C-alpha cells in the first residue's frame, strides 16, 4: 500500500490522495472553559475531522462534549438527534460489558452532545479520539456526525465510547465548541482537519 493510502486510512478515509487531508487548525487547552473553532469551517471541505489528544478534565468524573452554531447563530445550541454506546473493561478484570446509554443520546435536543463519559481527572487519566462531521456547509441536508474514542473512566475502566447522529438543521454550520460537561479542560490538544 502506498504511503499516502496509509496516511488517509489513519483518518478513516481510505482511498483519498495524500493531499486530500489537510490540517487546518490546532488548539491546546490550558485550564480552558472550552475549545472553540470559529473559523475555517466552510464549503472548501466536505468532511471535517477533529482529533483529540490527551484531553484531561480539571474535574473528576465528567463527560467530554460538543455543540455547533449555524452561520450567524450564537449560543452553541443547535438541534441534535443522536445515539451513544460504549464498551468497557476494568483494570482489575472484575467487570466488562457493552452498553447502550440512553442518558447520553438526544432526541431533538439542544444540549452539548456527549462524546465520552465519566473521564477521570488524575494526572494519567484522559480522553482521546476522533469526531467526523460531514458536509457542514450544506443548506439542503442535515449534518451527520460520528465519534469514536478511548477514555480512562474515573473508576479504573478502559472505555470505547461511540456517538453518532445528525444536527437536524438545513442551515450551514460554521462553528464548533468542545468542553467538559462541568469544569474546565485542564490540558489537551484538538486538531481540525479538512477532507476534500
Spell out the domain ranges in the chain. Answer: 25-195
Residue 5 clears pLDDT 70, i.e. is over it: no
**Inter-residue contact 62 to 74 (CB < 8 Å):** no
User: Is 154 in a helix, a strand, or coil?
Assistant: coil
Degrees to nearest 5, angle at CA 188 with 53 and 136: 65
Can you give the pTM of this predicted structure? 0.89
pLDDT value of position 121: 85
Residues in Cβ contact with 32 at an 8 Å cutoff, skipping those fewer than 6 apart: 184, 185
Backbone angles phi, psi at 115, to 5 degrees: -110, -25
Q: What percentage of the chain reaches a pLDDT higher than 70?
A: 90
* pLDDT, tens digit (0-9, with 9 covering 90-100), for 104-162: 999 999 999 999 988 888 888 899 999 999 999 999 999 999 999 998 888 888 999 99
Q: Which of 77-86, 148-157, 186-195 has the lowest mean pLDDT?
A: 148-157
Report the 10 Å Cβ neighbour count for 134: 16
Report the 10 Å Cβ neighbour count for 124: 8
Segment 76-100 shows an average pLDDT of 95
pLDDT value of position 65: 98
Report the C-alpha gap between 41 and 44 in whole angstroms: 8
Residue with cell 460537561: 181
Nearest alpha-carbon partner for 112 in 158, 72, 63: 63
The alpha helices in the chain, defined as continuous H runs, are 3-10
pLDDT value of position 19: 57
Report the C-alpha gap between 40 and 32 in whole angstroms: 21
Task: Give the chain's mean pLDDT.
Answer: 91
pLDDT value of position 104: 95
Right CATH for 25-195 from 2.60.40, 3.40.1180, 1.20.140, 2.60.120 = 2.60.120
pLDDT value of position 18: 56
Report the C-alpha gap between 175 and 125 in whole angstroms: 28
pLDDT value of position 156: 83
Handedness of CA 1, 47, 66, 102 (dihedral sign): negative
Segment 65-69 shows an average pLDDT of 98
What band does 7 get if pLDDT is binned at 50, 70 and 90?
Answer: low
Amino acid at each position: 500500500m502506498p504511503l499516502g493510502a496509509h496516511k488517509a486510512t489513519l483518518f478513516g478515509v481510505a482511498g483519498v490522495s495524500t493531499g486530500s487531508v489537510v490540517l487546518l487548525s490546532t488548539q491546546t487547552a490550558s485550564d480552558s472553559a472550552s475549545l472553540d473553532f470559529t473559523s475555517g469551517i466552510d464549503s472548501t471541505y466536505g468532511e471535517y475531522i477533529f482529533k483529540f489528544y490527551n484531553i484531561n478534565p480539571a474535574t473528576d468524573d465528567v463527560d467530554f462534549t460538543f455543540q455547533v452554531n449555524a452561520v450567524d447563530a450564537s449560543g452553541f445550541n443547535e438541534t441534535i438527534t443522536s445515539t451513544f454506546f460504549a464498551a468497557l473493561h476494568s483494570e482489575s478484570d472484575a467487570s466488562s460489558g457493552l452498553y447502550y446509554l440512553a442518558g447520553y443520546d438526544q432526541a431533538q435536543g439542544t444540549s452539548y452532545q456527549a462524546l465520552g463519559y465519566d473521564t477521570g481527572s488524575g494526572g494519567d487519566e484522559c480522553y482521546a479520539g476522533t469526531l467526523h462531521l460531514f458536509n457542514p456547509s450544506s443548506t439542503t441536508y442535515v449534518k451527520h456526525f460520528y465519534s469514536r474514542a478511548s477514555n480512562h473512566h474515573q473508576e479504573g475502566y478502559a472505555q470505547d465510547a461511540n456517538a453518532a447522529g445528525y444536527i437536524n438543521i438545513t442551515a450551514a454550520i460554521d462553528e464548533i465548541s468542545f468542553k467538559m460537561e462541568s469544569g474546565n479542560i485542564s490540558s489537551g490538544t484538538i486538531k481540525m482537519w479538512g477532507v476534500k
